[in-house]
Structure 1
Amino acid sequence: MKRNIYIQLFCLVLIMIGTTGCEKLLEEEPKATISLGELNPVLLDQTIIGVYEPLTRSRGRLWESRLGLYLELMSDYADGGASQKASSDYTNLLMSPNSLEPTWVCIYEAVGKANLLLANLDANTSLSDDQKSRAYGEAYFIRALCYYNIVRIWGKVPLRLKPIVNSDDVDLPLSEIPEIYDAVIKDLKIAEVNLPAQVPSANAGRATSGAAKVMLADVYLTLKDYTNARDKAKEVIDNKATYGYDLEPSLATLYSPVLATNKEDVFSLKFSQVVGAGSFWASYWADSKAKLAGYSVTGNKFGGIMSKAPIIAGWDNNDLRKQFSLYSTYIINGVVTNAEVEANNYDLRMGKYKDPNAPADTGNGNDFYFYRYADALLIFAEAENKLNGPVNAYAAINQVRRRAYGVSLAVSSTVADLPAGLSQLQFDELVLRERAYEFIGECKRWFDMVRTDKVAEILTGVRAAIPTPARKPIPTKFVFGIPDIELQNNSLAR
């Protein structure tokens, strides 16, 4: 069974009491001071793990749950069917209030815990500089990870960079988007110089300097700072041995529900086959025959994939990623059986995440990737092409494509490699397409559509192709409304 760093110290809830920022973040209470007490090496490590904890909390409604489901269903190729229509047709995005309040609560709790740890590290005089250095790196990394996603999901938000220690600290105005991105970049620059290059597999899921660099590259790409995006991605690619990175040849290994990590894993949320310590992801996408079909212990049928969406219709059937990720039939007791679909909405299921041996739908062991080595390669390819055209960008994207076709990563392939002589615009379009194929089910497509300013263009093409165009209207805004819990308690956020 895969080891999960987030459940090995279940008692950290007691250690971190007073820092459960979002549930208690905005309560109007008499002034009170909170503290972790004097940190020693053991308590420090437990406290760091406590900072990660909200990100993988069962029912936390983060990436492996509600937020991840919403983001994936907002992609051009996905539809939520009868049960999740409000996500795929952007109703939930446009309405206020929406159902992302639990997500807001949980992600700001992680921010609050990071802030409290940073404040205690600043005040601490007993720990060595080496002990404090890594702790600083992890706290800054987690805060950056949270705010990078917060700003893309909600836009202007309160930028809380200090612990909330009393009710006077609750009111905070919304920060402008550039200010939030500046804070994310600042945190990641601190993290990359304080984090180790690698961690033992027993500590898989802890941040590394390579993870900070890949996230920095991604942030720069979102900001259209292509020079820094390319250079930071290249730094990782050129030093992949230092970080222990490479493409993992086997997709089954890459998405295994039982392995602790693999060489492509840059940063992921770790889940285990333990009730309440796993991911919902495999169960969300499977149907009622999930167990018999070999996909999950149970199936919620919360959405599927539209074969007529242009990005899916153009996906080569020989691409192993398509074979691994999408299905319309399965074999039960030796009989080929049609998967359960909603013909007017979607006709394919997504099977990228498989864990039929999970003990419950809260116990799927599939990890959730924020970053893989493939991210570094595709970020480099996109940014280099934007700067100089595709000549020096082919090698990076072709590695990803060769893995997708099961051929040698180091040898040119007429089957896998992109054709020579592409224009800068053609190459750019193919990189975006490649990202859709590589990261399907990993909650990146919606963000890619927004950052490339292609939401309307892509959805116009989808509407022309699918049976029910109303399922994919073009939204009038691209960020969610701030939840009522913040508006009711933070007068400066209204």
Structure 2
Amino acid sequence: MKISKYIFPAILLASLTSCEDLLEEKPKSIVVETFFNTAAEVEAATNGIYSPLRSNNYAVYETTLECQADYAYGRGSWAPLHEYQGFNDANISRVADLWNAFYLSIRNANLIIFNAPKGNAISEADVRKYVAEAKFLRAFNYFQLVRNWAGVPLRTENNMSTEDLAKSTPEQVYALIVADLTEAEQNLPEKAAQAGRPFKWSAKLLLADVYLNLKQFAEARDKADEVIKSAKFSLVPVKTPADYQTNVFGPELASTTEEIFFFKYTRQVAQGNYMLWITNHPSTGLFNFGGAYVVYGQTTDPFYQAWDEKDIRKGLWNKVNIGLGPNTLLSSKFVDKAAVAQNGAGNDDPVYGYADALLIYAEAAGMAGNGPTAAAMEAVNQVRRRAYGLPPTVAAADDYVTANYTAATFQDLVLRERAYEFHYLGKRWLDLKRTGKVKEAIQQSKGITVADKHLLWPIPNSELNFNKALDPGKDQNPGY
């Protein structure tokens, strides 16, 4: 994606929190030579890293992933995703836009990393803080790219003027991600300056997830455990599906005790969460702008049928006839009856919360120890207890028992809890891929054999045409 290195969009930040503290996106053209001098200027430029993600793009990204989950289907132009035979033209174009969004965010991060240390009126402490934030977000973007496209061009602050750049290997991409996050956890503040900004614990948890994907289970366990043992976070207790909708994912929440890294939204046009438009149906009345009901499930699917009726999270799936019969399910996880536009809902996007820390720790500890430890099982049980309306940290009569599980069956248990806990957040497909369970799970749930080409997304033609260091015949992902 060809973007000038001299001009970029900066976003003026009122705040990332509530309705009165709003992240206002107001692009301005700023010349590098006269900017990046003060902390205020660097902060404004840092806010520009979020713009490509906080727009509709991240909701579209999560939806693209969610349509491929074993419990979900896509409607309309998204339907080919649940056929698992590769991407058609509409979805190739859609993921090309996501590629561009991730690289735009990376470009904006690179500008901070390169220019902030040269500022003539900014403290060393502020430089370290903003460079760490930029490196966290650069790592976050590359983490999405490498998991979906594998090897990609590795654009950093050191090669911003290089237009023709060969693909790096996945190992090289992951090496940069780990290096960026290692620096970020050292230099980000102990407490977020504003809700929505990453802080030390955000970096530790993202690094734990990266290690989990790399199958470095001991490292993943230890990083997640640092987050847990910090005692800074806790699960919000619930008793009903409405408690989840209001107290965990509600549109009027400024923050919760679960929040570790969320994309923050508010009820203003183009400043709200687009996922509500994607997931809802006009007949439900849960979102006052109707909805496109793009992703759906079926009550007849094995995944849904095996789900315990007493699990409150199952109550966030509602039967809604969208023209596909009475057994169709839509998620009611995100509700906002006072949104101001299709992209004007107030619900935040919980990218990483305390449940992530608990379940990453549990899976990693089980794999590292060749079976679940008592602490790993306790982490799973905390998530499960909350889902049954029980105090998360108090032992319950029907808790899972460590002795009943091997390393393999415990991993399956954790993956199931992750599917229940994180539905509609785009995590299930990536979980199945990283554990090598995609083909088995899709065959079991839908009777479809997943084509090998479907496991990676196609590199956009715009990148192949512009970047002369890429050979379309050799560098495109298999099958495209």
Q: CA deviation at 1:308?
A: 2.8
Q: 1:97 to 1:378 in 2, by over 3 A?
A: closer
Is the deviation greater in 379-388 or in 448-457? 379-388
Of residues 70, 84, 89, the one that matches 1:90 is 84
Instruction: State the TM-score, normalized to the length of structure 2.
Output: 0.88
Q: 1:4 to 1:371 in 2, by over 3 A?
A: farther
Q: Equivalent residue for 1:431?
A: 414
Q: Equivalent residue for 1:129?
A: 124
Q: Is the contact made by 1:284 and 1:299 (CA closer than 8 Å) also made in structure 2?
A: yes
Of residues 378, 385, 408, the one that matches 2:366 is 385
Partners of 1:287 and 1:437 in 2: how far apart? 21
Q: Equivalent residue for 1:482?
A: 459
User: What are the residue-to-residue correspondences of 1:451-490 with 2, within 5 Å?
Assistant: 451-464=434-447, 472-477=448-453, 478-490=455-467
Q: What amino acid sits opposite 2:409 in the alignment?
A: Q
Q: Is the contact made by 1:321 and 1:438 (CA closer than 8 Å) also made in structure 2?
A: yes
Q: Is the contact made by 1:116 and 1:163 (CA closer than 8 Å) also made in structure 2?
A: no
Q: What amino acid sits opposite 1:487 in the alignment?
A: L
The answer to whether residue 28 in structure 2 is matched with residue 14 in structure 1 is yes
Q: Is the contact made by 1:298 and 1:360 (CA closer than 8 Å) also made in structure 2?
A: no
User: What are the residue-to-residue correspondences of 1:52-91 with 2, within 5 Å?
Assistant: 52-58=50-56, 62-64=57-59, 66-91=60-85
Of residues 166, 181, 190, the one that matches 1:188 is 181
Q: Equivalent residue for 2:283?
A: 289
Is the deviation greater in 418-427 or in 356-365? 418-427
The answer to whether residue 137 in structure 2 is matched with residue 142 in structure 1 is yes
Q: Equivalent residue for 2:217?
A: 226
Q: What amino acid sits opposite 1:266 in the alignment?
A: I
The answer to whether residue 166 in structure 2 is matched with residue 173 in structure 1 is yes
Q: Equivalent residue for 2:49?
A: 51
Q: Equivalent residue for 1:359?
A: 340
Q: What amino acid sits opposite 1:315 in the alignment?
A: W
Q: CA deviation at 1:84?
A: 2.2
The answer to whether residue 423 in structure 2 is matched with residue 409 in structure 1 is no
The answer to whether residue 424 in structure 2 is matched with residue 441 in structure 1 is yes
Q: Is the contact made by 2:237 and 2:391 (CA closer than 8 Å) also made in structure 1?
A: no
1:45 partner SS: helix
Of residues 293, 298, 312, the one that matches 2:290 is 298
Q: 1:315 to 1:193 in 2, by over 3 A?
A: same
Q: 1:255 to 1:170 in 2, by over 3 A?
A: same
Q: Is the contact made by 1:73 and 1:87 (CA closer than 8 Å) also made in structure 2?
A: yes
Of residues 152, 160, 168, the one that matches 1:157 is 152
Q: What amino acid sits opposite 1:437 in the alignment?
A: Y
Q: Is the contact made by 1:286 and 1:296 (CA closer than 8 Å) also made in structure 2?
A: no
Q: CA deviation at 1:55?
A: 1.1
Of residues 185, 190, 205, the one that matches 2:196 is 205
Q: CA deviation at 1:7?
A: 5.2
Q: CA deviation at 1:39?
A: 1.7
Instruction: State the TM-score, normalized to the length of structure 1.
Output: 0.85
Q: Equivalent residue for 1:317?
A: 309
Q: Equivalent residue for 1:371?
A: 352
State the superposition RMSD in angstroms: 2.2
Q: Give deviations 1:177-221, integer Å, cap 9, x for gaps.
A: 000001000000000011112125xx2110111000000000000
Q: Is the contact made by 1:2 and 1:365 (CA closer than 8 Å) also made in structure 2?
A: no
Partners of 1:123 and 1:194 in 2: how far apart? 18
The answer to whether residue 247 in structure 2 is matched with residue 253 in structure 1 is yes
Q: CA deviation at 1:99?
A: 2.7
